[in-house]
Amino acid sequence: MPLNMIPDLSQASGWLPLFFLVAMGIAVLSYVVLDGYDLGVGILLNRATDEEKDMMISSIGPFWDANETWLVLGVGLLLVAFPLAHGIILTELYIPVAIMLAGLILRGVSFDFRVKVQSHQKPLWNFLFYLGSVIASIAQGVMIGRHIVGFDSGLLGWLFALLVGACVPAGYALLGSTWLIMKSEGALQLKAIHWAKVSLGFTALGIGLISIATPFFSPEIMTKWFALPNIIYLAPIPLTTLILFIIIERTLKTLSSNPHQKMWVPFVASVAIYWLSFFGIAYSLFPYIIVDQMTIWQAAAATESLWLIFWGTAIVLPAILLYTFYSYRIFWGKTVPMSYY
């Protein structure tokens, strides 16, 4: 990365955009992991019995509204801190964003209606919750893919975006199934172990294909990863990811015969894989907010505006983190049936 692209970080005009990039990264990663597992539970919903579906929904009931707070924070920071990029990104992603919102709205409506309608109508709302989860997941994958390729409008750019769109539901299903392993018991837990085994293979395949394809869309990304000595310094990332996949696979085998031993390991390892993948994408894109087109400093709002937003973010971000930690601490443990969410 050319040093002349990075301004003096001792000045507010230099470090404030970097601060907001990190804050936005925390928000996006938190959303992907936290809302990812409840989207994953929705994706798996169609494979369960009616009683198991109630338990699956109960496992995410106390958390799912708070999880989506991170999406609002991430988009809000993009809008106020990087307005130039916000206009371009939302214009390029108008259709997948609209589809994602439609999926999230469908999930929200179904989540409430399924506990209020008569029993013969409940399967319809269960299916719509599943459908909304699938739609939102695919749309998010397409958005990520389009961003990685710098909104390349060529055939290969769209094929890559569709590839990511197909892989993200598998990754969310892995998070959802490993979440259910921790939160459920009995037949549902055994099913979740099986779902995790299946989704693990598809997730590994997806990450592998995306990792191979991404550098070919940008010479700079190719250089960042494969030029010496970078390839040596960065080797621990794919190696650690591979080790985590092996840990999950072996732990799932153990859980098949002893479901109560280290049942938290697959979920924690899956989250770690997402962290490493996110770091890889962030490293590939930095300092650009739009690949090979616009850096974070070019896209940033005026320094005076950033100062004002800084104090608000310094209050809101820790508050959301504390609330998230508190809610998970209160509702931790095995899921119990709920009649209203």
Mean pLDDT by 10 residues, the chain (341 residues): 62 85 90 89 88 84 77 87 87 91 90 78 88 94 88 84 90 94 86 92 88 78 82 90 94 84 89 91 86 86 89 89 84 63 45
What is the pTM assigned to this prediction? Answer: 0.89
Backbone phi, then psi, for 288, in 5-degree steps?
A: -80, 145
- Per-residue model confidence (pLDDT) at position 138: 95
Alpha helix positions (H), 82-121: 83-92, 94-113
Each residue of 289-312: pLDDT tens digit? 888 788 889 888 888 889 989 998
Report the C-alpha gap between 288 and 264 in whole angstroms. Answer: 36
Instruction: Give the pLDDT confidence of 105-128 residue by residue, as tens digits.
Output: 998 888 878 777 777 788 888 899
Contacts for 187-191: CB closer than 8 Å, 24+ residues apart: 187/52, 188/48, 188/52, 188/55, 188/56, 189/259, 189/263, 190/256, 190/259, 191/47, 191/48, 191/52
| Identity of residue 3 | L
Local structure of 297: helix, strand or coil: helix
Quick one: pLDDT at residue 3?
Answer: 46
Per domain, the residue ranges of the chain are 19-306
Per-residue confidence (pLDDT) for residue 4, from 0 to 100: 55
CATH placement of domain 19-306: 1.20.1630
pLDDT of residue 271: 94
DSSP label at 290?
A: E
pLDDT at 58: 83
